[in-house]
């Protein structure tokens, strides 16, 4: 016995009907406060920490490569010279082009000596350069395990990190000791000074899939 089939719907019409159903489902879920697949996408971020022990003094310098890609991101340097007023010794950080150290601008662009737990991220300012000198008493003078907040570029994207230093200013000598550094692998994500372990998990704000649903609704006049 021959089976009689009904009229076949074109593939394009089936695709349109499927998209409409999906659109209705997304909008209904959003209205119920559930969201499409919760609209939360976990993305893994990672802190990369490098222990170190580098002493910088007497006209010496150290080239800091935070992410070990062969590019110097910052240079720590102790300037040592003489003048009519005596010996001049000072510790400073020099960022590569596009990078910066967290700080403020007064008579000079001073770098902050952050305590552990301080947040370093997009909301901060990074004009810092001068750290410690025999001629002024800043926050880096005779401290142990303080943090230099850092902003740097990797393939055109902004990342944040820190360098941990202890600094001694005695008589006419400034000695800086770098004891470790770290950076956040996820672009534009803040890092906490002193935090050395990852991964951590962030969740994207609801919106990207929601905007997609809104686009579908506009397309079908819903």
- Residues 171-206 have pLDDT tens digits of 788 999 999 999 999 999 999 999 998 766 554 444
Per-chain mean pLDDT for the chain:
78
Most confident of 74-83, 109-118, 133-142, 210-219: 109-118
pTM above 0.85, yes or no: no
- Judge contact between 24 and 195, C-beta under 8 A: no
Of the pLDDT bands very low, low, confident and very high (cuts 50, 70, 90), residue 43 is: low
Q: Look at 33 and 163; give whichever has higher pLDDT.
A: 163
Mean pLDDT value of segment 98-109 = 92
Mean pLDDT of 141-165: 97
Q: Let me know: does 207 contact 80? Beta carbons within 8 Å.
A: no
User: Residue 109, Cβ neighbours under 10 Å: how many?
Assistant: 17
How many residues comprise the chain? Answer: 222
Of 11-20, 36-45, 114-123, 170-179, the range with the lowest mean pLDDT is 11-20
Q: Which two structure tokens, joined as six digits, stand for 73?
A: 């991101």
Q: Give the span between the Cα atoms of 207 and 95, in whole angstroms.
A: 36
- The residues spanned by each domain of the chain are 11-41+204-220, 44-203
The two tokens of residue 91 are 């510790």
150, 160 Cβ separation under 8 angstroms:
yes
Least reliable range by pLDDT among 19-23, 67-71, 174-178:
19-23
CA distances from 110 to 122, 123, 125, 148, 150 (A): 19, 18, 11, 11, 13
pLDDT class of 37 with cuts at 50, 70, 90: very low
Instruction: Reply yes or no: is the peptide bond before residue 149 cis, omega within 30 of 0.
Output: no
pLDDT confidence bin for 45, thresholds 50/70/90: confident
C-alpha radius of gyration, the chain, whole number: 28
Contact 44, 199 (CB under 8 A): yes
Bigger pLDDT: 85 vs 154: 154
Report the candidate in 3, 47, 9, 6 with the shortest Cα–Cα distance to residue 198. 47
**If you average pLDDT over residues 32-55, what whole number do you get?**
70
Residue 208 is encoded by which pair of tokens?
Answer: 């990207």
User: What is the pLDDT at residue 134?
Assistant: 84
Residue 47, pLDDT > 60, answer yes
């Amino acid at each position: 016995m021959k089976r009689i089939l009904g009229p076949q719907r074109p593939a394009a019409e089936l695709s349109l009907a499927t998209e409409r159903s999906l659109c209705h489902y997304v909008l209904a879920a959003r209205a119920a406060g559930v969201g499409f697949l919760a609209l939360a996408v976990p993305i893994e971020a990672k802190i990369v920490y490098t222990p170190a022990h580098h002493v910088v003094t007497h006209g010496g310098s150290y080239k800091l490569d935070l992410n070990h890609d062969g590019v110097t991101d910052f240079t720590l340097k102790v300037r040592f010279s003489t003048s009519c007023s005596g010996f001049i010794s000072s510790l400073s950080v020099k960022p590569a082009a596009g990078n910066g150290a967290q700080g403020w601008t007064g008579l000079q662009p001073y770098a902050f000596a952050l305590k552990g737990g301080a947040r370093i991220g997009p909301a901060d300012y990074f004009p810092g350069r001068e750290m410690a000198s025999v001629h002024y008493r800043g926050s880096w003078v005779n401290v142990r395990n303080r943090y230099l907040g850092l902003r740097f570029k990797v393939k055109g994207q902004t990342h944040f990190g820190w360098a941990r230093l202890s600094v001694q200013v005695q008589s006419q000598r400034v000695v800086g000791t770098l004891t470790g550094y770290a950076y956040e692998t996820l672009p534009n994500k803040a890092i906490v000074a002193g935090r050395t372990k990852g991964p951590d998990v962030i969740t994207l704000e609801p919106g990207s899939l929601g905007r997609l649903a809104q686009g579908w609704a506009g397309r079908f006049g819903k």
